[in-house]
Amino acid sequence: MSGPALTHTPGLLAELIDTRSAILERLPRARLLAFWDLDGTLLAGDCSEGSVEGGRTQFPGLVQLAIERGLSADYRGPRAHERCMGHYAWLREHVGAWMAYPFLAQVFAGADERELLDLAAEHFDSTLSRFYFPSSSRLFEGLADCGIEQHILSASAEIFVRGAAESLGVAPAQLHGIRVRTRCGLLTRDLIHPVTYAAGKLDRMHDIVLKAEAETPERPVFIIGAFGDSYDNDGPFMAHVSRTALPAGRPLAVMVNAGIVPDDYRGLFRSARHTLDGAEA
């Protein structure tokens, strides 16, 4: 079975801009949003776990860097990162991603929130930003240039994801990930729901839209774009966007490097192939 036909960046951007223009012609004060996954969609790799290609490390993940700085009370001493990732892999295989992803945020209970935020910003600015897919970056920047408000929905820890703010040119408050409560500036293990994995991303997106509507009640809010790379993790929020009726034009939901479309999602998503060299196969 072959995958869906691929769509290239200029065509996607042109369609989204046309939809923006059509909506604003009818509703000039409309507030238009787009939602993105981060790891594997904008970033060629995973900001938490790192990236390994052909047995060679492309970049270390923030989990490793934070553990090496002594920011996890759970994992210290020899092979601390290896032990942490071994437990994470066990959780993914035997329990599920719904528990494994939050685990990578919870292992930093007791750490200073500011120190982790600074580490994440430093790593994105010095290293991770060099691994953004050029095609995804062009789409992100093109939408920003025409006034589309863009938000990240990630299954990585929010304290890591917010490190991307400066390199993406958005406010930290538009970068959303798995959250834990803080007490006196220190992280705890207590999760804040919804957890931004699978259906939890859809719930968080709804929360963001409701907040936007409350902030600017005179401006109708519409989502015109959604971008992800995983049918399991991103499919629910992307399908919702794809099925949404707009006052003009139509929303686009784009899967990046995702492979064969499951039957439940057939006909809902565009498919794109992004590479680090900028080629779109």
Q: What is the CATH number of domain 9-272?
A: 3.40.50.1000
The pLDDT of residue 136 is above 50: yes
**Average confidence score pLDDT of the chain:** 96
- For residue 129, give the 3-state DSSP assignment: helix
Nearest to 32, CA basis, from 248, 194, 236: 248
Average confidence (pLDDT) over 6-14: 86
Query: What ranges do the domains of the chain cover?
Result: 9-272
First-to-last C-alpha distance (Å) of the chain: 18
Separation of alpha carbons 275 and 259, rounded Å: 14
| Joined tokens for residue 90 | 């066990």
Q: What is the predicted pLDDT for the residue at 8?
A: 84
Q: Is the pLDDT of residue 4 over 90?
A: no
Q: Please list the residues that pair with 130 across neighbouring strands.
A: none
The predicted structure's pLDDT at residue 280 = 82
**CA torsion angle 41 201 16 278 (round to 10):** 0
Q: What is the pLDDT of residues 176-197, one digit of tens each?
A: 999 999 999 999 999 999 999 9
pLDDT tier at 5 (50, 70, 90 boundaries)?
Answer: low
